[in-house]
A = this chain, B = another copy of it.
Amino acid sequence: MPQENIALFTIFGGTGDLAKRKLYPSLFRLFRKGDLQEKFAVIGTARREWTNDYYRTIVKETLADLKPTEAELTSFTSHFYYQSHNVTDTEHYVTLEKLADSLDKKYHLQGNRLFYLAMAPNFFGTIIEHLKTENIVTENGFNRLIIEKPFGSDFQSASELNEQIRKVFAEEQIYRIDHYLGKEMVQNISAIRFGNTLFESMWNKDFIDNIQITFAEFLGVEERGGYYDKSGALKDMIQNHILQVVALLAMEPPTIFSETSIREEKVKALKAVRIYSEEEAEKNFTRGQYGPGVLEEQKFLPYRKEKNVAPHSQTETFVAGKFLIDNLRWNDVPFYVRTGKHLTEKGTRINIVFKSVATNIFRDPEEPLEQQKEIPANVLTIYIQPTEGFSLALNGKEIGQGFDLRPVKLDFRHSSETTGNSPEAYEKLILDCLNGDGTNFTHWDEVAQSWRIVDVIRAAWDKKEIDFPNYASGTMGPPSAFELLAQDGFEWVWQPDEWYREKGKLS
């Protein structure tokens, strides 16, 4: 039986998309498993005027996929309360405080409070300030703040936001969500790295040639044009998710796998990521914006024709780049990253490309050494989504006479059965927060350093207009994304079939 967790959740943005798609289903799963039992309550707040009953009906609707029984639904949603709320109106916080206190008494919540900011970032500061001044933050229980990205829009604004929050919450009370850190296979990175001699002992510049991180999306901006056009791929993906993955891959082994030591190591790793000059940023990072294209027989509009996007938008929907990590472990090992919308295929993957064996002893001794066939590199691939698992590309002997090598792929995919039962990222992260475990959240030092790394690239790009669009929907980005690796003598390991086909490499 899991431990019963005791807390009042106050969800700002309780009528919003995130709450409906992720938070309510996650809370329900925790409830079903017994992680939440009787001693919890949820206040949903937002501008709209909803009744408790209507709110509960909406919450129920969000759970349809989980096939709850009527009894489960009634019992679960009886813990839900709605409070209409204007975040700038102090009076409203007074009402909220009263409701919170009464629920605390009713459900014996011991003053434990979890504030979830599931909304646009404009009002984060105001809300947090009022939580303090109106005494919604308690004295007797725990108070924890879960805050969604984006955390600022550059180092400056992030620092200001952080200072505001820190007036009310200590760093260890702040849970900055990066939902990728809740994903099974992102968490598996450390298990694979530190649980296997085969990888642990080779995890450095002596054995690794380069590391490739791809966050490819099949969809375009959809309904998010308004937000996205102000943000772009660099801030939306690289600054947070991708640099978090870089940190997990690059960090030194922690002494023990605890929140503190992992944070320490991740911060150290991010601080070792080279901060480019603007010239270097131009050279090592490249951007793209999708034009029209055809994907699986659907025709797609160019980005600039999407809803709420400026007709001459300079916003990038694609980024590829190379990070360098200036320490003894990673000196000169490129960490290539790329992310984009309307690419060939949806997929988040990490490829660890090991160095090839120093010499091909199976070569033809008659042929000049320079012309010997190089043996393909060993590659460890970690599949984060939609597939979850990992694989290892090795070489074996071609069956038959002689000693020709051929690539062999050893595969481990989580079965759909296990992944079906595996907790969703948000479920895991909310439970972590209830347990006071910040391992899978991002510390301010990480956020700060990530902005410092990314700000220079943004600054360099803002000085120069690009002739967008520069890649067709359904391709893997602009040619510059391939040249980036080619000039170092490498190529992307993961090249979806479609791209190959287009380049005439596949029939």
- A399 to B411: give the CA distance in the assembly, Å: 17
Given contacts A399-B418, A412-B408, A422-B399, is CB(A394)–CB(B257) below 8 Å?
Answer: no
* Contact A405–B357 (Cβ < 8 Å): no
A460: CB under 8 A from chain B?
no
Nearest chain B residue, comparing its CB with the CB of A404: B191
Are B414 and A198 in contact (CB-based, < 8 A)? Answer: no
Cβ contact within 8 Å between A396 and B192 = yes
> Which chain B residues lie closer than 8 Å to A191 at the CB level?
362, 395-397, 403, 405
> B-facing mask of A379-406, CB < 8 A → 1, else 0?
0000000000011101111011101010
Instruction: Name the B residues within 8 Å of A397 (CB-CB).
Output: 184, 187-188, 190-192, 195
- 20 more contacts with CB within 8 A, not counting A192-B395, A197-B355, A256-B365, are A184-B399, A191-B397, A191-B403, A192-B396, A192-B397, A194-B362, A195-B375, A195-B395, A196-B394, A197-B357, A200-B357, A253-B361, A257-B361, A257-B362, A257-B403, A400-B422, A401-B423, A410-B410, A410-B411, A411-B411
Shortest Cβ distance from A266 into chain B, in angstroms? 14
> Which single residue of chain B is at the shortest CB-CB distance from A198?
B378
In the bound assembly, the distance between CA atoms of A378 and B392 in angstroms comes to 14
Q: Complex: how many Å from CA A2 to CA B81?
A: 81
Nearest chain B CB to A68's CB is how many angstroms away? 21
Interfacial residues of chain A within 174-230, with CB under 8 A of chain B in the complex: 184, 187-188, 190-192, 194-198, 200-202, 207
B202:A202 contact, CB within 8 angstroms? yes
The reply on A466 being an interface residue by CB < 8 A is no
Asked whether A391 lies within 8 Å of B410 as measured between CB atoms, the reply is yes
Given contacts A198-B378, A361-B257, A396 and B401 within 8 Å (CB-CB): no
Nearest B-chain residue to A185, judged by Cβ: B397
Q: In the complex, A497→B423 CA distance in Å?
A: 33
CA–CA, A412 and B397, complex, Å: 12
Task: Verify B378–A197 contact, CB threshold 8 A.
Answer: yes
Interface contact A187-B361, CB-CB below 8 Å = no
A401 to B440, CA, bound (A): 11
Residues of B within 8 Å of A422, CB to CB, are 399-400
Residue numbers of A with Cβ under 8 A of B are: 184, 187-188, 190-192, 194-198, 200-202, 207, 253-258, 354-357, 361-363, 365, 375, 377-378, 390-392, 394-397, 399-401, 403, 405, 408-412, 414, 418-419, 421-423, 428, 431-432
Indicate whether A409 sits within 8 Å of B408 (C-beta atoms), given known contacts A196-B378, A197-B355, A362-B194.
no
Closest B residue to A379 by CB, please name it: B198
**CB of A381 to closest CB in B, whole Å:** 11
Task: Please give, as numbers and ranges, the residues of chain B lying within 8 Å of A200 by CB-CB distance.
Answer: 357
Q: Are A194 and B428 in contact (CB under 8 A)?
A: no
A152 to chain B, nearest CB (A): 30
The answer to whether B361 touches A405 (Cβ under 8 A) is no
Q: Report the bound CA distance from A390 to B191 in whole Å.
A: 23
Q: Which of A253, A396, A422 has the most CB of B within 10 A?
A: A396
Chain B residues with CB below 8 A from A408, complex form: 412
The CA of A257 and the CA of B363, in the complex, are separated in Å by: 8
**Cβ contacts under 8 Å, A405 to chain B:** 191, 195
For A196, the chain B residues whose CB sits under 8 A away are: 357, 378, 394-395
Ordered nearest first, which 8 A-B pairs have the shortest CB separation?
A191-B397, A410-B410, A195-B395, A399-B422, A188-B397, A197-B354, A198-B378, A257-B361
Q: Assuming the A-B contacts A253-B361, A361-B253, A401-B423, are A195 and B410 also in contact, with contact meaning beta carbons closer than 8 angstroms in the complex?
A: no
Supposing A357-B196, A401-B423 touch, asked if A396 and B362 sit within 8 A by C-beta, the answer is no
Residue pair A396, B423 in contact (C-beta under 8 Å): no
CB-CB under 8 A from A192, the residues of chain B are 394-397
Q: How far, in whole Å, are A391 and B354 apart by their CA atoms in the complex?
A: 19
Asked if A401 contacts B197 (CB within 8 A), the reply is: no
Chain B nearest CB, measured from A374 CB (Å): 11
- Nearest chain B residue, comparing its CB with the CB of A428: B401
User: Known contacts being A187-B397, A412-B410, is A254 close to B197, with CB within 8 Å?
Assistant: no
Q: Are B399 and A361 in contact (CB under 8 A)?
A: no
Question: Which residues of the partner chain B approach A399 to less than 8 Å between Cβ atoms?
Answer: 184, 414, 418-419, 421-422
